[in-house]
Amino acid sequence: MPKIKLKHKKLQNWINEMTEMCRPEKIVVVSGDQQQKKELEKEAFSTGELIKLNQSKLPGCVYHRTAVNDVARTEGLTFICARKKKDVGPTNNWMSPKSTYKKAAKIFKNSMKGRIMYIIPFSMGPVGSPFSKVGVELTDSIYVVLNMLIMTRVGSEVLAYLGRDGKFTKCLHGKADRDINRRLILHFPEDNAIWSVGSGYGGNVLLGKKCLSLRIASFLAKKEGWLAEHMLILGVELPDGRIKYLTGAFPSACGKTNLAMLVPPKALKKKGYKIWTVGDDIAWMRVDSDGALWAINPETGFFGVLPGTNPHTNPNAMEAIKKNTIYTNVLLKPDLTVWWEDGDGPPPARGTDWTGKPWQPGRVDEEGKPIKGAQPNSRFTAPIAQCPSASFRSEHHHGVPISAIILGGRRASLAPLVYESFNWQHGVYLGATMASERTAAQYGKQGEVRRDPIAMLPFCGYNMANYFRHWLSMGKKMVKPPRIFFVNWFRKDKHGKFIWPGFSENLRILNWILERSEGRVGAIKTPLGYIPRYEDIDMTGLNFSRKRWDELFYISKKAWQNELKDLKKFLNKFGKILPKEVIEEYKAFDKRLKKYRENR
């Protein structure tokens, strides 16, 4: 049995135990240095786990294909294993820790025979910051190691920080045979442990991301009095030079990465607006001694959606992925560069699709449906530091102060472009009652509307009713809590076209949000909350008619009453432990709606 010697006895014992179970041939500690990284890449090229891309066109870039049955997070196979079922609530899958360890151990048993087990010490947040959390991931996948090197702070520095008895989250990952019937993504919040087996896809296996930084961290955050959220963080530099920071919770594939890297429209850029990207997926927030809410991004990389990313929609992302990037599940071109749908330029005449089959434009399946070159949830892994808009505050252990919180979702009809909550409690209600259409980031029926409170439905590591309660209590800790807004960039007209141009133009709405937060502009009161007046939005350089605007803000009494019915079913699931404040807000909204007269 291979052995390594570490100063940290608990870590050492745990590794011994896991080695005993998985039986790897060799153990390698990931140091974080360039030389080791190069060797790992070389090894992965030789086995075909990775393909080296065209180094003159894409320096430092590599390509990876996952198994065809392993292209997105598998929420149905994701479990929170707390001792008591009621502690995980009605929205999480539950299994008891004891029986689950046993069940998973059978799959892990001997699964690393003939393989190397890599030990990845990592820190979510700057190493040594009191707001950071340390994890150690054991994995038999080089792809995981290389991704973690981009996504987190990895290596000897973290081990040194852990010392002899530092706290860490135990993260075990094994590819096993990638059989979907033997795939489990398990969280043991009471043991501060994660076990993931049978998958090789991003969110299932980069255990620092959703598993630690959201599911385990949300559990710790509740205990310790802070917030671990599925949110982007961005800074808006105003023409007067001040930078105001916002966070935004949108469900998976609903625009966090795009908004976090927004490029101001020409006319606003000329006025002096600028965007600073702090994070695109996860925010850890706490109330500081000044009574304000401060946020850090625990990650150092982006794991972003490629289809739809192009120089028009997201020029900053395009710039960030030119070098040192891992491309997963896109189309491979004959010259060893890559392509994806709605990317940069027309499709190549031929290539190899994400499943490894020859591809050309116009190829269709048996049913005559077009076959995509890139998987709809194909992704890039790239260092934040390579993004032209990367914030200079990323390494600051204190993070950034938050002026406003945005919630959002994909609603083809129903929700207006933007509305502001009346107060913190109403804002939490808007969060608790969020819903969005399902995207390619999850398995399941695409387009179906599902409830996704604060974009945390798949990521909250405990009972969501208590999560709402935690949010309510956080508001009381702040001197002046940030205002909470809801946005919907995705409303469509009767021809099925997006009404709002979105992307860069969203800055016009962010600007209104910030003006509202500082009490510099008025608004119209509706049953939903406050909405902007057309004339209060800076439309310089954009041709957007008042008629289209009114379409964006149309509030259908009937549709909202139906929404309330659907919502009631969801809220009832929580039973008696649902905070009374949420019910209060529900009733108040129902009442406002009854009185509302549509002016159409």
CA 378 to chain centre: 14
Helix or strand (DSSP H, E) at 240: none
- Considering only 81-89, 209-217, 247-255, 572-580, which stretch makes contact with ligand GTP by CB under 6 A? 247-255
Residue 305 binds ligand GTP, judged by CB under 6 A:
yes
Phi, psi of 297 (to 5 degrees): -95, 115
State yes or no: residue 502 binds ligand GTP (CB under 6 A).
yes
Which CB, 232 or 285, lies closer to ligand GTP? 232
Q: How far is the CB of 210 from Mn ion (least distance, A)?
A: 7
Give the whole-angstrom CA distance, residue 342 versus residue 346: 8
Does residue number 503 form part of the binding site for ligand GTP (CB under 6 A)? yes
171 part of the active site: no
The smaller minimum CB distance to ligand SPV, of residues 410 and 483, is found at 410
Tell me: does residue 202 bind ligand SPV (CB under 6 A): yes
441 binds ligand SPV, rule: CB under 6 A: yes
Q: Half-sphere exposure of 420 toward its Cβ, with a 13 Å CA cutoff?
A: 23
Q: Is residue 183 a contact partner of residue 197, using CB atoms and an 8 Å limit?
A: yes
Tokens of 454: 């604060």
CA atoms of 79 and 282, how far apart (whole Å): 20
Q: Binding ligand GTP by CB under 6 A: which of 506, 517, 531, 560?
A: 506
Q: Which of 326, 352, 246 is nearest to 44 (CA)?
A: 326
Interface pattern 347-366 for ligand SPV (x via CB under 6 A): --------------------
Instruction: Provide the minimum distance between the beta carbon of 213 and ligand SPV in the complex, in angstroms, as a whole number.
Output: 10
Minimum distance from residue 96 beta carbon to ligand SPV (Å): 25
274 binding ligand SPV? (CB under 6 A)? no
Interaction pattern, residues 335-374, with ligand GTP; x per rule: CB under 6 A:
----------------------------------------
- Out of ligand SPV, Mn ion, ligand GTP, none, what residue 202 binds, judged by CB under 5 to 8 A for its kind, is ligand SPV
134 DSSP assignment: E
Q: HSE on the CB side for 410, CA within 13 Å?
A: 17
Coil, strand or helix at 566: helix
How near is the Cβ of 305 to ligand GTP at its closest, in Å?
4
Rounded Cα–Cα distance for residues 367 and 352 (Å): 21
CB 458 to ligand SPV: min, Å: 8
Cβ closer to ligand GTP: 61 or 249? 249
How many residues in the shown chain lie near ligand SPV by CB under 6 A? 9
Spell out where 104-146 has E strands.
Answer: 116-124, 133-139
Pick from 323, 348, 345: which is nearest to 53 by CA? 323
**If binding is defined by CB under 6 A, does position 258 make contact with ligand GTP?**
yes
Q: Is residue 214 part of the contact set for ligand SPV (CB under 6 A)?
A: no
489 touching ligand GTP, by CB under 6 A: yes
Residue 507 lies near ligand GTP (rule: CB under 6 A): no
The yes or no reply on residue 411 touching ligand GTP (CB under 6 A) is no
Calpha distance 500→491 (Å, rounded): 7
255 binds ligand GTP (CB under 6 A): yes
State the catalytic residue, choosing from 81, 171, 211, 254. 254
Question: Which x/- pattern over 425-454 shows residues binding ligand GTP (rule: CB under 6 A)?
Answer: ----------------x-------------
Of residues 111 and 381, the one with the C-beta less far from ligand GTP: 381
Beta-strand pair 193-197/227-229: unpaired
Give the tokens for residue 129.
Answer: 């910051």
Structural contact between residues 299 and 247, judged by C-beta atoms closer than 8 angstroms = no
Confirm if 32 and 122 have CB atoms less than 8 A apart. no
| Chain centroid offset of residue 332 CA | 26
- Closest CB to ligand SPV among residues 22, 260: 260
Q: Binding segment for ligand SPV among 42-50, 102-110, 203-211, 530-538 (CB under 6 A)?
A: 203-211
Closer residue to ligand GTP in complex, CB, 542/588: 542
Q: Which H or E run includes 22?
A: helix 9-22
281 part of the interface to Mn ion, by CB under 5 A: yes
CA distance readout (Å), 291 to 61, 210, 371, 396, 505: 44, 28, 53, 19, 33
In the complex, the smallest distance separating the C-beta of residue 374 from ligand GTP, rounded to whole angstroms, is: 12
Q: Using the rule CB under 5 A, give the single segment among 37-45, 78-86, 219-227, 276-284 that binds Mn ion.
A: 276-284
The pair of structure tokens assigned to 588 is 């108040």
- Which of 252, 316, 329, 394 binds ligand SPV (CB under 6 A)? It is 252
* Residue whose structure tokens are 């964006």: 552
Q: How far is the CB of 574 from ligand SPV (least distance, A)?
A: 23
| 547 three-class SS | helix
- For ligand SPV, the closer CB: 202 or 373: 202
Residue with Cβ nearer ligand SPV (112 or 374): 374
Neighbours of 529 (CB within 10 A): 23
**What span, in angstroms and rounded, lies between the C-alpha atoms of 90 and 87?**
9
Q: Cβ-count burial of 31 within 10 angstroms (0-12 exposed, 13-18 middle, 19+ buried)?
A: middle
**Checking DSSP bridges between strand 283-287 and strand 227-229, what pairing results, if any?**
antiparallel
CB of 83 to ligand GTP, least distance (A): 30
Cα–Cα dist 543/201, whole Å = 42
Strands (DSSP E) contained in 8-115 are 26-29, 51-52, 62-64, 78-80
Nearer to ligand GTP, 137 or 281 (CB): 281
Task: Identify whether the C-beta of residue 415 lies closer than 8 Å to the C-beta of residue 491.
Answer: yes
Binding site for ligand GTP (CB under 6 A): 250, 252-258, 280-281, 304-305, 308, 313, 441, 489-490, 498, 502-503, 506
Residues annotated as catalytic are 254
Which residues make up the interface to Mn ion (CB under 5 A)? 252, 281
The residue ranges that bind ligand SPV (CB under 6 A) are 73, 202-203, 209-210, 252, 281, 303, 441
